[in-house]
Amino acid sequence: MVNQTLLGLIALRGGIMASNNLLRRIYHTLAPAIRIAEQTTRPLFSDRYLLYTNTGITVFLSGTGDFLVQHYDIVQGRQDYWDPLRTLRLATSGVFIGPMCHYWYRFLDRVIPGRTIKAVSKKIFWDQLIFSPVNISTFFIVVGIIEGQSLKSLYQELKCKGPTLFKAELMIWPPAQLMNFAVVPLRFRVLFDNTVSLGFDWYYSHVKHNHPSGDESEDDNNEKFINEIHINVNESNQRKDNHSCTSDDKNNL
């Protein structure tokens, strides 16, 4: 038993050393490219251009998320062709959400400075309690206005679909923001946010265009109810016809 434990520890140590060596090789291979990327992008992440960089990243990845979900729906047969105007509408939401994220992260760091467990936990709590609902609402309001939705329709959609997104965010964002607030420098937080958000932007688009709103759900229920009535009436008529045919056969006998 002791020998097996020792062998396991030796194997684990060997695996860790091999992994470290592999990571060092990868780093040394990519180091020149990393240095070039840092030198090229350094001005973009300077205080002078950071707002524009964060906004551009958010616009690009918001549109990319919708582009991906549309092509997934095409492959699944739920959609016939790519709608570029829809992608443009989703990307436009990034014009508003990007600056919001930019200033929100700065505000949090000013109000709750530091990277201690207590400070990071507070940031995550206020991020989910305040910014997450504001972010979801902004998304639906901006896209709804561009689509020409009425206030009543917009409110109904937000009321029905907003909680779905908020519940999903509660599962994804606390662990992601733990890394973001504890490790990632402030100037790269919107970039990290949007990198994680690429998959979530896909989900935003899916909920926006495939998840039924309150009115749609009511219409679906009404349609199902009407279909059930038709089915029951048809079955009743069929039973009457069968009964009539049986009676005629008996009379003929």
pLDDT in tens, 14-67: 555 665 566 567 657 766 765 776 677 788 888 899 999 999 999 998 888 888
The rounded distance, in Å, linking the Cα atoms of 127 and 143 is: 22
Three-state secondary-structure class, residue 118 = helix
Token reading at 201: 């932007």
Inter-residue contact 129 to 82 (CB < 8 Å): no
Q: What is the pTM of this model?
A: 0.66
Among 33-37, 82-86, 219-223, the range scoring the smallest mean pLDDT is 219-223
pLDDT, tens only, 113-146: 988 989 999 999 999 999 999 999 998 899 899 9
Question: Is residue 68 exposed (0-12), middle (13-18) or buried (19+ Cβ within 10 Å)?
Answer: middle
pLDDT on residue 253: 47
pLDDT on residue 73: 82
Cα Rg, the chain, nearest whole Å:
28
The rounded distance, in Å, linking the Cα atoms of 239 and 206 is: 44
DSSP 8-state symbol, 76: T
Residue 229 has pLDDT above 50, yes or no: no
Please report the beta strands in the chain, taking only residues with DSSP state E, as ranges in sequence order.
Answer: none
Length of the chain as a residue count: 253
- 200 or 241: which leads in pLDDT: 200
